[in-house]
Amino acid sequence: MGGLTRLEWNEVAFKTRHSNQETPCPVRIKIREEVLEYYKSAEVHTAHSHVKSRWYYIIIAMLFILPCILGLVGFMGHKMYQGYKEKQE
């Protein structure tokens, strides 16, 4: 099923002048099937709820507030126009 690669060195040394000490030998290790039933994904433990951006709420608010403001300005403009029209007559 799954596996991993473990890196092994041929010898232990404190000085890294030899080339064989700098390059490890990769060893492929197979994971046993019975161990996988105990595995749980890290996503289960680190689940975060999706946080919406502040701009999302601003845009939604503007969809409701902007028509109200425009309607109010239009209504007040119409009332002012009616007042000027009556003064001129």
Q: Each residue of 38-68: pLDDT tens digit?
A: 777 666 677 667 778 899 999 999 999 999 9
CA dihedral 57, 58, 63, 68 (to 10 degrees): 120
User: CB neighbours of 12 closer than 8 A, spacing ≥ 6?
Assistant: none
Which of 4-13, 18-27, 52-61, 80-89 has maximum average pLDDT?
52-61
pTM of the model: 0.40
Q: What is the pLDDT of residue 85?
A: 85
**What is the chain's Cα-based Rg?**
36
As a whole number of angstroms, the distance between CA 68 and CA 48 comes to: 36
Q: What is the pLDDT of residue 47?
A: 67
Q: Is the pLDDT of residue 18 over 80?
A: no
43-to-4, 46, 82 alpha-carbon distances in Å: 20, 5, 65
